[in-house]
Amino acid sequence: TARDSKKQYRDWLNAKENAGKFTWTIALWGVEAKAAEVGLSLEAYWQQIIKACFLDEADPVAHWRKISVEQEHIRQALNQMKIQWVHAVGADLDLKVKIGSERSWNGGSGRNIPSFEI
C-alpha cells in the first residue's frame, strides 16, 4: 500500500524530529475562494491571517512562545483534572464524549499556525 511504501521515509523523518533535527508547520494561505466564502476581499482576508498569526506584532515569535507556555500550563491543568466526559451543546448539537482513563491532553506544539488547540 501507499502507507507501507512510505514507512521507511516516515520512520527516518520521525527519528529526525524526535532528535530535534527536523520540524514542520502547517499555516493558512489566503486564496480568493476562502476569502469569498467568508465574505471578504482577498486583501482583507490576508489582513485577518496576518492578525491571527501575530505577524503585525513587533516580535511574532516571542508572542507565539508566550502562548506556547500558556498552553502548556492549561494542558497540565487539564491532565490533573479527573474529567470523565466532554459535553458540547449548541443549536444543532448535543455531543457527549467519554474520556478514557488512560487519555491525556496534548497539543500546543506550534505546528499549526494560527492555532490554539489543546
pLDDT digits (tens, 9 = 90+) for 56-114: 999 999 998 899 899 999 999 999 998 899 999 999 999 999 988 888 888 767 777 77
- In this predicted structure, the answer to whether residue 20 has a pLDDT above a threshold of 90 is no
pLDDT (average), residues 21-38: 90
> Which residues form the domain of 5?
1-53
Q: Would residue 114 count as lying in a domain?
A: no
Q: Using a pLDDT cut of 70, give the percent of the chain over it.
A: 98
pLDDT for 3 beyond 90: no
**Domain shared by 3 and 49, yes or no:** yes
Matching residue, cell 521507511: 8
* Per-residue pLDDT, 28: 83
Residues in the chain, how many? 118
CA atoms of 76 and 80, how far apart (whole Å): 6
Say whether pLDDT at 25 is over 90: no
Nearest to 113 by CA among 73, 78, 63, 70: 63
Q: Within this chain, do residues 1 and 49 fall inside the same structural domain, yes or no?
A: yes
Q: Are residues 42 and 11 in the same domain?
A: yes
Which pLDDT belongs to residue 54? 93
89 in helix, strand or coil?
A: strand
SS3 content of the chain, % helix, strand, coil (to 5): 45, 15, 40
Please determine, for residue 10, whether its predicted confidence score (pLDDT) is greater than 80: yes
Q: What is the largest CA-CA distance in the chain?
A: 47
Q: Are residues 81 and 42 in the same domain?
A: no
Section 7-31 average pLDDT: 88
Torsion angles phi and psi, residue 91, rounded to 5: -55, -45
Tell me whether strands 26-27 and 85-90 are parallel, antiparallel or unpaired.
Answer: unpaired
Any domain includes 118: no
